[in-house]
Amino acid sequence: MSSSFKYAMCSAIVAFSLAACGTGPAEVESKPAAKVRHQLDAERNRVWLLTGQGVAIYDAAAPDRVLRVPLPGWQFAGEPYGCLPGLALGPQGEAVISSDVVPVLWRVDPETLAVTRHEPRLTADTDKDVGFTALSYSSEQGAFLAVSGAHGTVWRIDRQLRQAQRMVRQVPREKGCGPRN
């Protein structure tokens, strides 16, 4: 990864973190920076940032151009009420965003930026409120993996985002939100 791309990525993350605070420069020091999810797409030279309004895409080749993609019907609780929603890049460069409140996923096409909404069928816990956090793509499994922050359950979601299968493994509740990225 080139040093200019690393610099551009860091600049984008800092800029969006500060912008998410909604405060002027004098107030930034007294408030913590907003926590955001981000993913680096080195193949397309861009950074995907999850914001309160949807996804922002920062293109390192055009630093003044930021694309904003709203997620229709997106619901999330986030901190301090729950875990942050997940953001993962799939095998074709698509961004997949979760809700931490309901079992719904949004897919953003990497070329057209078209958004599709998916409600995977749960194989278990249909009587519980299940939202997905700590979302990531596993090339070994050919599927997305997620954690339900409220329950600590681990889920395997197929690439087509049609089915979410609860796995036997569970994470301790206090660590249910998974690693921040």
DSSP string for 82-128: SPPBPEEE-TTS-EEEE-SSSS-EEEE-TTT--EEEE-PEESS-TTS
β-bridge partners, 58: 47, 66
| In contact, 49 and 36? CB cutoff 8 Å | yes
Per-residue pLDDT tens, the chain, 181 aa: give them.
444 444 444 444 434 443 443 333 333 333 334 467 899 999 999 999 999 889 999 988 887 889 999 999 999 988 778 788 999 999 999 999 999 999 999 999 999 999 999 999 999 988 888 899 889 999 999 999 999 877 788 999 999 999 999 997 655 555 556 543 3
The structure's pTM equals 0.77
